[in-house]
Structure 1
Amino acid sequence: MSKSTDRKKQAKILRIFRKVHRTTGALLFIFFFVVSVTGLLLGWKKHSNGMILPKSYQGTSTDLKDWLPLDSLHSIAVYHLHESVDKDLKLDLERIDVRKDKGMVKFVFLDHFWGIQLDGATGELLHIEKRRSDIIENIHDGSILDYYFNTKGEYFKLVYTSIMGLALLLFTITGFWLWYGPKRMRQSRK
């Protein structure tokens, strides 16, 4: 194969990669924008002075034998949620975070983005929090759609993360080739 034919072939591949790179970027622009902004927010969440990630408050005892039983703490958390936020909120739990080193237990509810922090030993309310970091995480990974459409199995999240992961891989490959291809063509002229 002659140098001229080889260069034409390389130029054709380069044009194809440029078109794929440009088209994919245009089609997925809004998704890349959302992923980048939410990723930045998640990266900064611990340094947001409680705006994104709520502060963890200190309880009175770090010794678990001094703590109230978990079912009692749960009842207290439910009481505070209904009295302070909304009495009609569902009570399904996403998780219970036991922070022994802080003497605190955090109840995070599933169907809304509220959390209740209680002193593990006394049951005293330490903090009621809107879980903004959870909302941002759900937007970042696409599971916010599963939440709003109440889908089981997180299918929106699966499709969204697959598309975004494959698009990022495609961007990496085509972007590398858009950088390396012209260098290779210049070297082949010599």
Structure 2
Amino acid sequence: MKLKRQAQAKTLRDFRKIHRITGVLLFAFFFIVGLSGILLGWKKNSGGLIMAESYKGQSVKLAEWISLDSLHKNACSYLKDSVSPSLSAEVDRIDIRKDKGMVKFTFKDHFTGLQLDGKSGKLLFIEQRRADYIEKIHDGSIVDYYLGWDGYFKLFYTLIMGLALIIFTITGFWLWYGPKMMRNK
């Protein structure tokens, strides 16, 4: 009985050590993930600070809209004329908001977004896509973005953070449950 209790105490000490070392090594990353996660959770309720409001176009009827090609050309022109001629016009995503009568264009190499009226093609709003930037911080892809890597840092980062969360869950549970089990014997 005493040998079993000593083995349980050793396991508890080992788990406490693993929990502590993992926490110390990854403290800054957990802080970043936590803070960015809070910001992402509040993005739609930030009054446009983190995520811009979606503006409304003239018509929700797609038949009345100008062609996607024309909208794309307009977006590229607005980007060059209204934001900066030096920014890349390579589109990352085109988000069609039929219910708003609006199309959002986001770009691959920067965090600018343009909202255009689907019917007229006129510029409704220029946004800085802070939520996209925060998301890249949250998932580690910001490193890939700035270093031009092909998503390799994000893969490594999410693997490490996921494994650390699993380790914290297991060791944390044992640090809570282990002493209770030892007291009951």
Shorter-chain TM-score category?
over 0.9
Q: Which of 5, 11, 30 is the equivalent residue of 1:7?
A: 5
**Which residue in the other structure is 1:157 paired with?**
154
Q: Which of 153, 164, 169 is the equivalent residue of 2:166?
A: 169
Identical positions, percent: 61
Measured in 1, the distance between the counterparts of 2:126 and 2:145 equals 22
Which string of whole-angstrom CA distances, capped at 9 and with x for unpartnered residues, describes residues 37-85 of structure 1? Answer: 0000000111001111110000000011110111111111111111121
- Please identify runs of 4+ aligned residues in structure 1 that moved more than 4 A: none
> What TM-score comes out, normalization by structure 2 length?
0.99
- CA drift of 1:94 comes to 1.0
- CA drift of 1:151 comes to 1.3
**Which residue in the other structure is 1:118 paired with?**
116
**Which residue in the other structure is 2:28 paired with?**
30
Measured in 2, the distance between the counterparts of 1:41 and 1:92 equals 27
Is 1:178 paired with 2:175? yes
**Which residue in the other structure is 2:56 paired with?**
58
Measured in 2, the distance between the counterparts of 1:91 and 1:85 equals 11
Structure 1: unaligned runs, 5 residues or longer: none
- CA drift of 1:122 comes to 0.5
Measured in 2, the distance between the counterparts of 1:9 and 1:79 equals 71
> What TM-score comes out, normalization by structure 1 length?
0.96
SS of residue paired to 1:28:
helix
Q: Which amino acid aligns with 1:40?
A: I
Measured in 1, the distance between the counterparts of 2:9 and 2:180 equals 11
Measured in 2, the distance between the counterparts of 1:22 and 1:135 equals 31
Q: CA RMSD in A?
A: 0.6
Matched residues, number: 185
Q: Which amino acid aligns with 1:46?
A: K
Q: Which amino acid aligns with 1:174?
A: T
Q: Which amino acid aligns with 1:99?
A: R
- CA drift of 1:91 comes to 1.2
Which string of whole-angstrom CA distances, capped at 9 and with x for unpartnered residues, describes residues 70-121 of structure 1? Answer: 1111111111111121101111111000000000001000100000000000
SS of residue paired to 1:65:
helix
Structure 2: unaligned runs, 5 residues or longer: none
